Amino acid sequence: MNTTLGETWEEAVGEKLDHQVLMDKVVRYTAAVPSRVVYLTAGIDSQRNRFEMYVWGWAPGEEAFLVDKIIIMGRPDEEETLLRVDVAINKKYRHADGTEMTISRVCWDTGGIDGEIVYQRSKKHGVFRVLPVKGASVYGKPVITMPKTRNQRGVYLCEVGTDTAKEILYARMKADPTPADEATSYAIRFPDDPEIFSQTEAQQLVAEELVEKWEKGKMRLLWDNKKRRNEALDCLVYAYAALRVSVQRWQLDLAVLAKSREEETTRPT
């Protein structure tokens, strides 16, 4: 190990997760939104020629269901592109109980583009509904930190502890699959729909591996994608951050929400 002259050195920690592990978690949904889901969040990844958005449904115990994948091609600074993102954010999804659901909270990546683009959309959709985020690749950071006050641009720019989130999510992705009809805390499930989930998305979700990196005289642990595409993973991180901030800032309780939803749908008309 060479630690002189500020040189860097890195080594993988553990084995890289195989994408087939995720393909084994594919289940058939009875509707766009499965019956146990009570809350929808989304993560948006910003690229120079497109936006990618993944919508995730959450059930009690943070059981997660991938609900949708939307790719919006176009320049991120063009209004026509952003209008299509608006449509995606406001899309309605049919729940298994027959009701319609909308996305409750969105975390939108500001990296790689002019952050002002995301700030303006946050104000358009509601500063609490669409949260601009920036990644903080520092081990031990909270999954998401929301400031108490708006920034000078009038929005809440949140910091996402990407390494912390990835550690949590990789542990959940690695877990053995359980039957679709069995409610399982922390389980991650994918739809039997190649338009939303295929080997491509599975490979992106497992694109990163944990490495030890010796840098400037210090040993760091970080997640590295080795230049593999990882948009699906980034979007899952943002969608999970949207869930966590809903719990922390607005006291979201998935179990209470599930009970309330059940009472509403079984109430005599």
Domain ranges within the chain, ordered by starting residue = 9-264
What type of residue is 86? D
pLDDT at residue 262, rounded to an integer: 86
User: Is domain 9-264 classified as CATH 3.30.420.240?
Assistant: yes
pLDDT at residue 16, rounded to an integer: 78
pLDDT tens per residue across span 50-97? 999 999 999 999 999 999 999 999 999 999 999 999 999 999 999 999
DSSP H or E run through 50: strand 50-59
Separation CA 154–CA 130 (nearest Å): 13
| Strand 144-145, strand 158-160: pairing | antiparallel
Instruction: Note the pTM of the prediction, 2 decimals.
Output: 0.91
pLDDT at residue 1, rounded to an integer: 36
Q: Do 119 and 46 touch, CB atoms closer than 8 A?
A: no
pLDDT at residue 213, rounded to an integer: 72
Separation CA 103–CA 54 (nearest Å): 11
pLDDT at residue 113, rounded to an integer: 94
128-132: long-range contacts (C-beta < 8 A, 24 or more apart)?
A: 128/156, 129/104, 129/105, 130/89, 130/105, 130/106, 131/105, 131/106, 131/107, 131/155, 131/156, 131/158, 131/242, 131/245, 132/108, 132/156, 132/157, 132/158
Residues with pLDDT less than 70, the chain = 1-15, 215-216, 220, 223, 225-227, 266-269
Q: Helix or strand or coil: residue 21?
A: helix
